[in-house]
């Protein structure tokens, strides 16, 4: 049997290979059909495929049934192989699938469909005008579920003359980044590239620096998204090339509109999650989901999806009709209120700052509230207790000298019993410190002394001789300790004794007692 000419049958070979047949089997089929053909030296793909199916079924110990074989042949022969299409450079929204979470299926594809962020999307704003002019490189900073990725994709979709290239800093490497930049530079003369990097704060300094030349020369238009404070996690050179736009958590009425949209959308909404079962939601359940997602649209939508599945399963077999999501379903799906708190992120520092300032302002109610927010968010109690020890000396100080003892005792109590029992110990100490009289005299004295030490001209002076100990004969001969007056023996004379270097004689660091009693 002579093998077919590879040049003549190259196309037929490619089509057979694309059907899933091995190269050896395809070569045998083309050779067999070519040698048996009396009308043409060129066998058709259909004939070769028919030969393979017949040959394999005859050689098999358990040949397929006629129906299964004919179905397979009909599937293969009715759908000739097509050349593979390259992955589109701009694919902003994949086709909705019931396998995708509801939050992904309901992701708005245009800026007009985005709910919330009115301070960024108002008429005449920078983002509203990007379709009519060049888009600057931007950094979208906001909490999870506020719409950063959605906004970036919608902005890119409004730029018809640009292509959208997404990367995730979680998985992308420097090699991936440089490959994307090189591709953008090669195609720059035909089309501009919008490079979107999600979770940009996870990039190392080296990865962030790799973006600088491409942003600087305009090879890419950069869009970044981060949940972390850019001042802490992004390098200054990168920040100087970006405009930072801060997104806010969604308001409850924004979340409510998104939930209703998901219920009403027959193409992408809840119908795909419930296998076509009609679902609605009562007002109380809708209000519960809107208020307990902490402004996170993703949490709200995915909780709605779980609620719908629970409701459908609960009503299964009862009868046909629209299934109603109740508050019980919503609570079961949510389990507990979602709290936006990151022990290593900005919210950690925001809340401890609020706690400090509330105690400093003698507002015990606000102080206990912020304490509760931190504990419910999972903050370590010993961290809070350490901050209270500092506060006792910095803000209460000499106005109530017992405050430091209370704070240290609180730390020990938290160390002994831990959470959740130590929460009342923390609340006790927070309330005590908030209601205690305040004095920053010690804090100010310490800072004034630090400035005197750092700003001394020609170095700090040595300890005056009369203040030095003289444990040896030589030191006594050198004048160590001469002229020192022991206060218990000379109570009156010691009042004029100086304890500061000559250059600082008479200097007051600690202003105590205060001139105004009301300062306490």
Residue partners of 275: CB distance under 8 A and separation at least 6: 98, 312
In this model, does residue 208 exceed pLDDT 70?
Answer: yes
- Give the CATH number, domain containing residue 320: 1.10.8
For residue 487, being part of any structural domain is answered with no
Same domain, residue pair 231 and 132: yes
**Token pair for 377:** 């968010």
Q: Considering the chain, what is the average pLDDT of its residues?
A: 81
- Give the domain CATH number at 417: 1.20.272.10
Considering the domain architecture, whether residues 325 and 361 belong to the same structural domain is answered as no
Structural domain total, the chain: 3
* pTM of the model as a whole: 0.57
Q: For residues 264-288, give the mean pLDDT.
A: 89
Instruction: Flag whether 501 is in a domain.
Output: no
Judge whether residue 216 has pLDDT over 60: yes
Report the run of H or E that residue 469 belongs to, with start and end.
none
Note whether 210 and 278 are same-domain residues. no
495 found inside a domain? no
Residue 350 has pLDDT above 90, yes or no: no
pLDDT digits (tens, 9 = 90+) for 290-301: 988 888 999 999
pLDDT single digits (tens) 53-76: 776 555 544 444 433 344 344 444
The C-alpha atoms of residue 68 and residue 298 are separated, in whole angstroms, by: 45
Task: Read off the tokens for 345.
Answer: 């992120």
Residues 6+ apart with CB under 8 A from 72: 53, 64
Q: CA-CA distance, 34 to 432, in Å (whole number)? A: 97
Q: Does any domain span residue 493?
A: no
pLDDT band with cut points at 50, 70 and 90 for residue 5? low
Residue ending a domain, among 390, 419, 438, is 438
106 located within any domain: no
pLDDT at 422 (0 to 100)? 93
**DSSP character string of 105-128:** HT--SSGGG--S-HHHHSTTSTTT
Does some domain include residue 196? yes
Residue 287 pLDDT class (50, 70, 90 cuts): very high
Q: Is 375 within 8 Å of 364 (Cβ atoms)?
A: no
The last residue of a domain, from among 390, 414, 438? 438
The confidence score (pLDDT) of residue 26 equals: 78
Give percent of the chain with pLDDT exceeding 90.
37
Over residues 206-213, mean pLDDT: 91
Tell me the average pLDDT across 454-476: 81
| Residue-wise pLDDT tens digits, 121-172 | 888 777 776 655 578 899 999 988 899 999 998 888 888 778 889 999 998 8
315/200 same-domain check? no
The answer to whether position 455 is within a domain reads no
pLDDT band at 491 (very low <50, low <70, confident <90, very high): confident
Q: Looking at the structure, do residues 267 and 382 belong to the same domain, yes or no?
A: no
Assess whether pLDDT exceeds 70 at residue 81. no
In this predicted structure, the answer to whether residue 281 has a pLDDT above a threshold of 90 is yes
User: Which residues constitute the domain of residue 329?
Assistant: 252-336
């Amino acid at each position: 049997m002579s093998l077919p000419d590879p040049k003549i049958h190259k196309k037929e070979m490619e089509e057979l290979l694309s059907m899933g047949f091995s190269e050896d089997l395809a070569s045998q089929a083309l050779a067999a059909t070519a040698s048996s053909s009396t009308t043409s030296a060129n066998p058709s793909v259909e004939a070769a495929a028919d030969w393979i199916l017949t040959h394999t079924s005859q050689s098999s110990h358990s040949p397929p049934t006629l129906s299964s074989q004919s179905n397979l042949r009909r599937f293969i022969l009715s759908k000739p192989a097509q050349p593979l299409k390259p992955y589109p450079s701009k694919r902003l929204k994949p086709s909705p699938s019931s396998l995708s979470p509801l939050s992904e299926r309901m992701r708005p594809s245009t800026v007009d469909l985005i709910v919330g962020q009115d301070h960024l999307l108002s008429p005449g704003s920078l983002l509203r005008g990007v379709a009519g002019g060049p888009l600057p490189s931007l950094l979208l900073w906001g909490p999870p579920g506020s719409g950063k990725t959605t906004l970036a994709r919608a902005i890119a979709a409004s730029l018809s003359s640009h292509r959208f290239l997404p990367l995730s800093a979680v998985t992308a490497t420097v090699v991936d980044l440089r490959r994307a930049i090189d591709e953008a530079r090669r195609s720059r003369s035909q089309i501009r590239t919008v490079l979107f990097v999600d979770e940009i704060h996870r990039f190392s300094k080296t990865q962030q620096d790799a973006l600088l030349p491409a942003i600087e020369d305009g090879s890419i238009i950069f869009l970044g998204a981060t949940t972390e404070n850019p001042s802490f996690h992004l390098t200054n050179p990168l920040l100087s090339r970006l405009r930072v736009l801060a997104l806010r958590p969604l308001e409850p009425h924004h979340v409510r509109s998104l939930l209703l949209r998901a219920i009403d959308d027959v193409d992408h909404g809840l119908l795909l999650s419930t296998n076509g079962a009609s679902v609605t939601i009562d007002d109380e359940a809708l209000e519960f989901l809107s208020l307990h997602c902490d402004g996170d649209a993703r949490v709200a939508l995915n909780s709605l999806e779980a609620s719908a599945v629970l409701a459908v399963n609960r009503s299964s077999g009862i009868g046909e009709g629209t299934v109603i999501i109740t508050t019980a379903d919503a609570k079961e799906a949510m389990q507990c209120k979602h709290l936006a708190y990151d022990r290593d992120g900005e919210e950690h520092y925001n809340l401890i700052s609020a706690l400090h300032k509330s105690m400093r302002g003698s507002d015990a109610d606000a102080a206990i509230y912020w304490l509760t927010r931190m504990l419910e968010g999972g903050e370590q109690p010993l961290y809070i207790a350490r901050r209270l020890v500092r506060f006792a000396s910095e803000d209460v100080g000499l106005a109530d000298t017992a405050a430091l003892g209370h704070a240290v005792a609180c730390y020990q109590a938290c160390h002994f019993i831990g959470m959740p029992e130590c929460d009342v110990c923390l609340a006790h100490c927070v309330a005590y410190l908030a209601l205690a009289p305040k004095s920053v005299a010690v804090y100010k004295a310490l800072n004034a002394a630090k400035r005197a030490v750092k700003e001394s001209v020609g170095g700090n002076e040595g300890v005056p001789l009369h203040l030095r100990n003289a444990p040896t004969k030589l030191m006594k001969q050198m004048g160590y300790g001469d002229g020192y007056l022991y206060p218990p023996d000379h109570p009156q004379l010691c009042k004029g004794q100086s304890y500061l270097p000559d250059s600082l004689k008479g200097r007051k660091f600690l202003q105590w007692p205060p001139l105004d009693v009301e300062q306490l």
